[in-house]
Structure 1
């Protein structure tokens, strides 16, 4: 079944200059391998379309079931230089919660709010 990332993980973010830093934390250790397999640097960048103009580098933090994405060219030249408030790191981290993850049926009980998933 396909579910939005918001049922698998939560996010945190930060920004500095024109770089956004987005961390994705699996809700449970059982869901983390799905994230590592499906939320690749390429798919992450593609999800944002033209919003990220530079490279995306993923750092795996296995001991806390997290991944950290460093996105160059993600803030319209830098937060203080851009008139587009939607490019701030927090908006980018909230947006990725709409990314779709394929989850096997036997892991459904580990999802957040599984009763809301058809």
Structure 2
């Protein structure tokens, strides 16, 4: 049986940034949700969810041995922390945006 939950219910996330690129890593609380997240949280879906924020390519790197993912968000920081006029746009909130996305999980 499948059900839909918010990603934050089954995973945590951390962010980092360098220049105009932000990285968001996603880590399931339980490894059983790795495949569910892999199926639901595609680069295309992440890019489509926030097109005004993530203006460049979205890449996903899988870390199956650790049951995690790293999303690289290009052109996402208005030119970068030092170049942006926005004082608090370091990409730290991007982890919360991803964690707010619904994902389908198997209850097996």
TM-score above 0.5: yes
Q: Partner residue of 1:76?
A: 78
* Structure showing the higher helix proportion among its residues: 1
In structure 2, the gaps of 5 or more residues are none
Compare 60-69 and 86-95 and name the one that shifted more.
Answer: 86-95
- 1:85 Cα offset (Å): 4.3
* Consecutive aligned runs of 4 or more in structure 1 exceeding 6 Å deviation: none
More strand by share: 2
Question: Structure 1: which 5+ runs fail to align?
Answer: 108-118
| Cα deviation digits, residues 4-53 of structure 1 (max 9, x gap) | 11001100110000000110001111111001111000001111121011
1:53 corresponds to = 55
| Counterpart for residue 37 of structure 2 | 35
Deviation, 1:96, is 1.1
Match of 2:64 among 48, 62, 65: 62
TM-score scaled by length of structure 1: 0.84
Q: 2:17 aligns with which of 15, 18, 23?
A: 15
1:90 aligns with 2:92: yes
Q: 1:86 to 1:52 in 2, by over 3 A?
A: farther
